[in-house]
Structure 1
Amino acid sequence: MTTMKVRWKYYEMLLVVGAAVLVIVKLQLAGISVLLFLLAWFWLNKLIIPMATSRHRVRVCTAVLQLLLLSYLLGPGINLLSFYSDHKFYFPGGFPLTIGYHPQPLFNAFGGWAVSILLIALYLVYALFREWIIQRIEESGIRKAFYTLVVNRITAFAFGVLAIPFGASILGLFDGIYYHYYFALVPSTIAIGLACYYYLFPFQMSVGWRSREFISKILAVTFLIVIIFSLFLGEYWQFKLVIGWFLFVLLIIIPLIWLTYRNKKDLLSEFSAMRYDLAASQANLGALKMQINPHFLFNALNALYAMALQDGSINTATGIQQLGDMMRFMLEDNQQDRIPLQTELTYLRNYTDLQRLRFTDSDRLTITIDIKEGHDEELIAPMLLIPFIENAFKHGIRQEVPSWINLVLNVRAGKLYFQIANSLHSPLENDPERKRRGIGLQNVCDRLSLLYPGEHHLQYGAEANTFTVTLTLNLKN
């Protein structure tokens, strides 16, 4: 299955390359200096920004040095553009791209440097914001596909809106008033359409489209966007024009958007349900695979065999019974959507008891479990807590050094409070999994987002030599 990718940088590249080609064809000799801007864009996006966003100190310092070099090399290009464009080159609306003018730009070693530093700094702020958004989308789990779709739509419209007036300006197709009305009316309409289609209609209409709350949000969003973009009118701003456009969008554009959304709503709902079932099946299958693995079963059976040789059959029988209960849980209870919390806790205790068998002769391990009893009426999705405990035993326990695990669990007013902390050790050089990224925490994060959307709060991370997981879960959803 092909994964949808964020195409923000791709759309931006199309706009930049297209604009550069158009300027070179139109301005000819003066347009050659635009090649510097095009090369600067590729230099920034392919080399400097990846270095600047890395956590390696040397790479960040190298990025800073490249920024200074790029700004110096871009200066003469800005001076050339100023020289061949009648002293100043204006954006649509009268904003100058360059400041100052030199009659011999190629002999001015530091010409345009200050302007190039300013332009690069502004673009760098935008680019770092872009990279931050893309990174957040990549880490959004099961909502990644939806966020990617929304961002791709927004950026495609945004760069399309910018491309039209830029091309018209270079070709000299319209006068100045066109750009004022264009930026005041077209982007505002697109922004309102996107806000309704991807936010207001899907997420804010649960209270009913006739409700005062929903109507007030529609009015507020529409009015705010129209007012903000109306500032592009400048000297052509008129109260009647702004109010008229507001009413036109409200009475004509939004109903058309609603009809489009409603026609696709059933298809989107069906797709969402299929995606939910598929993601839930994959998450449950991943959890099942994590539990039923030969490594754990062989360790448990070897420990039981060793105990049978040491002290007879009582502890061995207990261990075998616990292992049987766990297998029965995985084969039967794990197939249900919700199970009694007490059943989940029984599985949790059996798991920890079997893991203790590995350290029966060690005095370096301390395991503290504080579970409040009396959870017969509470229900929970099966195998939701065990990945945290697995990680604690996998990464927090080492036989040759002191290790510990502390687990606390209780339920108050229908809310589950779970916390597990373990000692943290540096990975061994010969550990075959030291360079692998575990899937347990990501798997349980996806399951929580699917099964308890908006009803859970999960935090985990390392501090000093301790790794802590804290989960708050509303069991009454």
Structure 2
Amino acid sequence: MNQTIFYTTAFYLVPKFLRLKKTKTLIALVAAGLIGITLFESFIDYNYLVNFFSSDNETFTIYFLYNLFVGFIILLVALSYALLKYWMQNEKMKRVLLEEKLSTEMAFLKSKINPHFLFNVLNSFYAKSLKHDVPELADGIARLAELMRYMVYETNEDKVILEKEIHHLKNFIQVYQLRIAEEDDVFINFSVIGDVTTVKISPMLLIPFVENAIKHGIEPNTKSVIDISLEIKENKLYFEVSNTVHGQRNGLEDESSGFGLDNLKKRLSILYPTTHTLETKEENGFFKSFLSLNLD
């Protein structure tokens, strides 16, 4: 019985309910389990052992208090072990996150050169395109500048207003569409349902879906369709992206861009450990990715 208390507490109850941040439920289950197991063990001891090893004046209460004391000690050991293990895992995760953050920041610093210089160059190109009456090019340059500004300045916060993230996605799509030839049969649809002005999301979390759909779902001289839908309902986000399958590799791949499936899963497990669902599947000629998040 003592082994049951130890293993159930240390390897199931504490890891599960601490991860879910349900401390009260954990305490209630541990207390109920201790009392229940103690009653059962005391009943066995009193009815089957008293006749062989104990005197007649030993009551059920004595067995119960003794087993309760032993079980409580075992429970303390199990809790200590589980909490220590949980703390060590959290510390390890913090170190991994810190190392990844430093590595990412260093890579970004190496690649971004001087953002002010790049913005000035883009502003010059924008002015020249307007001067030579090329409004489509001017609009593309303006949106490219917005993309860069968002990535450089807006993503420093842990969370951003969802409306800004959606605007970033639309800019990304429109900048990419400048590369699509007029004769190519390409359709990119983006629908948004719900209030996106009051909820926040971790920045750059949705762009991998769109980037990969565009990369794998568009083929020259072939009809290509990309459908993107985002819905906010009861403070929960539902995001789905589907793209045409062209007989090539599709979906979220783990590539050097850092926007692969493994990287995305890792980010979600850290940022939304118990409040997200990620699914991918190929169906009826389309590759579909689905993400749901609680935005509390």
Q: Which has the higher strand share?
A: 2
> In structure 2, how many angstroms separate the alpha carbons of the residues matched to 1:365 and 1:422?
11
Name the residue aligned to 2:17: 204
Name the residue aligned to 1:369: 190
Contact kept in structure 2, 1:339 and 1:381, CA below 8 Å: yes
Name the residue aligned to 2:146: 325
Unaligned runs of 5+ in 2: 54-62, 113-121
Q: Deviations over 1:171-197 (max 9, x none)?
A: xxxxxxxxxxxxxxxxx6555433322
In the superposition, relative to structure 1, how do residues 284 and 423 fare at CA in structure 2: closer, same or farther (>3 Å)? Answer: farther
**1:424 counterpart = 2:245:** yes
Name the residue aligned to 2:278: 458
In the superposition, relative to structure 1, how do residues 331 and 253 fare at CA in structure 2: closer, same or farther (>3 Å)? Answer: same
Unaligned runs of 5+ in 1: 1-187, 231-236, 293-300
**Where in structure 2 are the equivalents of 1:86-101 lying within 5 Å?**
none
Residue 467 of structure 1, aligned match among 263, 287, 293: 287
> In structure 2, how many angstroms separate the alpha carbons of the residues matched to 1:285 and 1:329?
16
In the superposition, relative to structure 1, how do residues 454 and 218 fare at CA in structure 2: closer, same or farther (>3 Å)? Answer: farther
**Where in structure 2 are the equivalents of 1:130-279 lying within 5 Å?**
189-190=2-3, 192-204=5-17, 206-208=22-24, 211-219=27-35, 238=48, 247=68, 249-261=70-82, 267=88, 269-278=90-99
**Where in structure 2 are the equivalents of 1:394-405 lying within 5 Å?**
394-405=215-226
> In structure 2, how many angstroms separate the alpha carbons of the residues matched to 1:265 and 1:445?
21
Higher relative contact order (CA 8 A, sep 6+): 2
Letter of the structure 2 residue corresponding to residue 457 of structure 1: T
In the superposition, relative to structure 1, how do residues 456 and 224 fare at CA in structure 2: closer, same or farther (>3 Å)? Answer: farther
> In structure 2, how many angstroms separate the alpha carbons of the residues matched to 1:416 and 1:368?
18
> In structure 1, how many angstroms separate the alpha carbons of the residues matched to 2:287 and 2:138?
34
> In structure 1, how many angstroms separate the alpha carbons of the residues matched to 2:244 and 2:39?
52
Contact kept in structure 2, 1:209 and 1:215, CA below 8 Å: no
Residue 446 of structure 1, aligned match among 254, 266, 274: 266
Q: Which has the higher helix share?
A: 1
Name the residue aligned to 1:4: none
- Give 1 or 2 for the bigger CA radius of gyration: 1
TM-score by length of 1: 0.46
> In structure 2, how many angstroms separate the alpha carbons of the residues matched to 1:287 and 1:473?
29
> In structure 2, how many angstroms separate the alpha carbons of the residues matched to 1:390 and 1:460?
15
Q: Deviations over 1:7-36 (max 9, x none)?
A: xxxxxxxxxxxxxxxxxxxxxxxxxxxxxx
In the superposition, relative to structure 1, how do residues 284 and 375 fare at CA in structure 2: closer, same or farther (>3 Å)? Answer: farther
Percent identity between matched residues is: 28
Contact kept in structure 2, 1:396 and 1:405, CA below 8 Å: yes
Name the residue aligned to 2:230: 409
